Amino acid sequence: MLAGGLVACGHPATAQAAAAVLAEGGNAFDAALAAMCAATVAEPMLASLGGGGFLLARPSTGRHQGQSLAYDFFVQTPLHRRDDGAEDFFPIDADFGPATQQFHIGIGAIATPGAVRGLFEIHRDLGFMPLRQVLEPAVTLARDGVRIDSMQAYVFGVLRAMLDSRESIRVRFTRPEQPGTPLAEGDVLRLPELADTLEVLAIEGDDLFYRGEIARTIAEECRTGGGHLSREDFEAYRVERRRPLGIDFCNHQLFLNPPPSAGGILIAFALELLRDGGFGEWGFGTAAMLDRLARVLTLTQRARVESRLHELDAESVSATLLDPALLSLYRREVAGQPSTARGTTHISVVDRDGNAAGLSLSNGEGSGYVVPQTGIILNNMLGEEDINPHGLRRWPENARMSSMMAPTLVLGRDGSILALGSGGSNRLRSAILQVLLNLLVFRMAPEQAVASPRLHVESDRVSIEPGFADAAVAALARSMPKAEIDRWSAPNLFFGGVHVACRDAAGRLTGAGDARRGGAAVRA
């Protein structure tokens, strides 16, 4: 096995943790797990062992050699909904600056976490290095501390209302000399309890979380404090191994996160709408390109609702949304009259042996509840409107929740491989789509593909980053007269954070971390 590789993710310290593991002989999957745990320290408002996520993997050796694999370790709704009126569940506003979004937090917003079980199951299947060695960089980071950068300081500001919700989280992430004021750029964050937890997990295994003291503590807090989870929820949790959704596009084979999650299928749907439409001939940023892209994003949003994704199983949703008749209908709409129509981090790794991993992890905005003596912030996924299509407080019992998270692998016919994905809630699918188009249609290098401006369409609002020509934006406004055109003054994490790692046919490694989310790319 060749040592080394490249990682692209949301924080330099996260990337360095993965690079250290690669340099010591770990494979891409060891590195992705090392980065995942380091992200819970360096990106604590976006990533936590109290949340869940997905891994798309392409092993180059071993029993899964040449197969694309999808691991679903996202959160599960509780087995039973409490109906005694004692639910701890309340709204907060996340303030992005130019826009705000409402979320619900509290103990009643916690779904069963999958991150710890995912960590262990993935390592058992694909890891090469001992788990204690994989976790060592995160343990050191949590104990020694990480300096808050501008991106994380911004996220603390966005989620200030969540940080103010409970004393247990306020004391960890606000300034001691200014109680209630979030940590600022340059402050040092230390999480010694989390360091201890990671060390003990490496020794005792995932049963500590799902059958031991941690599960007992959370279940009791939910019983007395207004939550839904019980010991049975933790004991019943399982990682789901799925077959990725595969499509061909621009002479590449794409593997996307499959249903029941929605992000991958919607990206596939959008790519089908753009196939054979002359999209690449117009050039990046032209009026025609923006018009077509905005219409496709609009129709993809409509398809998400009309196809009732949340009610279909994996086979049915693929057949329904990618059905040729439906695609034909939507293609006619794209070519016809003008249309009128949330906290995540991602890690991409390729190694010198050709293994590739795309891992997305989310804690939502966090419930505000920190498990005592562990440093683990639990998720608020039951309070996320984006992934509760039936409505808040109307989630089905004992169901794997859907997500927009869409780790993606791209295989070239020449043997090249790249991994990418994004944070950004409902906006991440449009971010990944646009970076894929930049890479495969406009043939940009990873750095340019990630840095180029983006747009996002939702309801009657078209949000646009700076960098597109005024004339092209004006033409878009004329073609969508009923839409509100919202021009942002600077690139923003609102538009996702796409991190790309690539190994070309000759074995050369390139990549890019998205500056919108403080991203970094590091070669080991």
pLDDT tens column, 426-444: 788 999 999 999 999 999 9
List the domains of the chain with CATH numbers.
242-344+405-523 (3.60.20.40)
**Confidence check: pLDDT of 286 > 60:** yes
**Confidence check: pLDDT of 24 > 80:** yes
Query: Could you give the C-alpha distances from 66 to 29, 72, 128, 247, 411, in angstroms and in order?
Result: 15, 20, 17, 16, 11
- Other beta carbons within 10 Å of 478: 11
**Confidence check: pLDDT of 141 > 90:** yes
Q: Per residue in 448-485, pLDDT tens?
A: 999 999 999 988 899 999 999 999 999 999 999 989 99
Tell me what pLDDT residue 460 has. Answer: 85
Q: Per residue in 84-136, pLDDT tens?
A: 889 999 998 877 666 677 889 999 999 999 999 999 999 999 999 999 999 99
Angle at 218 between CA 213 and CA 221, to 5 degrees: 125
**Confidence grade of residue 28 (pLDDT, cut at 50, 70, 90):** very high
Cis peptide before 260 (omega within 30 of 0): yes
Q: Per residue in 252-266, pLDDT tens?
A: 999 999 877 778 888
Is 344 designated active site?
A: yes
Q: Which tokens belong to 124?
A: 């058992």
Total H helices, total E strands in the chain:
19, 22
**Confidence grade of residue 2 (pLDDT, cut at 50, 70, 90):** low
Percent of the chain surpassing pLDDT 90:
70
Considering all CA atoms of the chain, what is the largest pairwise distance in Å, rounded to the nearest integer?
Answer: 63
Burial letters for 232-246: b for 16+ Cβ neighbours within 10 Å, e otherwise? ebbeebebbebebbe
Whether the Cβ atoms of residue 37 and residue 17 lie closer than 8 Å to each other: yes
Determine phi and psi for 404, rounding to 5 degrees. -85, -10
| 8-state DSSP, 111 | P
Question: Who has greater pLDDT, 100 or 517?
Answer: 517
Determine phi and psi for 373, rounding to 5 degrees. 65, 15
Out of 112, 298, 344, 408, pick the active-site residue: 344
Q: Which of 13-22, 230-239, 298-307, 412-421 has the lowest mean pLDDT?
A: 298-307
Q: Which of 24-28, 319-323, 488-492 has the lowest mean pLDDT?
A: 319-323
Q: Per residue in 375-389, pLDDT tens?
A: 999 999 998 765 566
The mean pLDDT of the chain is: 89
Tell me what pLDDT residue 326 has. Answer: 45
**Confidence check: pLDDT of 75 > 70:** yes
**What would the mean pLDDT of 138-144 be, rounded to a whole number?**
98
Tell me what pLDDT residue 459 has. Answer: 81
Percent of the chain surpassing pLDDT 70:
89
Burial letters for 87-108: b for 16+ Cβ neighbours within 10 Å, e otherwise? bbbeebebebeeeebebbbbbb
**Confidence check: pLDDT of 359 > 90:** yes
Local structure of 311: helix, strand or coil:
helix
Closest to 436 in 3D by CA, of 409, 404, 472: 409
**Confidence grade of residue 156 (pLDDT, cut at 50, 70, 90):** very high
- The residue assigned the tokens 């390139």 is 510
CA distance 334 to 296: 7
Tell me what pLDDT residue 128 has. Answer: 96
Q: Per residue in 177-195, pLDDT tens?
A: 887 789 999 999 999 999 9
Determine phi and psi for 109, rounding to 5 degrees. -95, 0
What radius of gyration, in Å, describes the C-alpha atoms of the chain? 22
**Confidence grade of residue 300 (pLDDT, cut at 50, 70, 90):** confident
Tell me what pLDDT residue 335 has. Answer: 39
**Confidence grade of residue 318 (pLDDT, cut at 50, 70, 90):** low
Tell me what pLDDT residue 263 has. Answer: 83
**Confidence check: pLDDT of 343 > 60:** yes
- The residue assigned the tokens 């201890």 is 196
| 8-state DSSP, 482 | T
**Looking at this protein, which amino acid is placed at residue 2?**
L
DSSP notation for 389-402:
TT-TT-PPTT-BPP
Tell me what pLDDT residue 439 has. Answer: 97
**Looking at this protein, which amino acid is placed at residue 457?**
V
Tell me what pLDDT residue 340 has. Answer: 24
- Other beta carbons within 10 Å of 253: 15
Angle at 166 between CA 161 and CA 172, to 5 degrees: 90
Angle at 330 between CA 327 and CA 332, to 5 degrees: 110
Closest to 445 in 3D by CA, of 351, 518, 511: 511
Q: What is the separation of C-alpha 366 from the centre of its chain, rounded to a whole number of angstroms?
A: 14
**Confidence grade of residue 492 (pLDDT, cut at 50, 70, 90):** confident
Cross-strand pairs, 50: 378
**Confidence check: pLDDT of 309 > 70:** no
In 28-130, which ranges are continuous DSSP H helix?
A: 28-42, 115-126
Burial letters for 335-349: b for 16+ Cβ neighbours within 10 Å, e otherwise? eeebbebbbbbbbbb
Q: Which of 55-64, 310-319, 332-341 has the lowest mean pLDDT?
A: 332-341
**Confidence grade of residue 341 (pLDDT, cut at 50, 70, 90):** very low
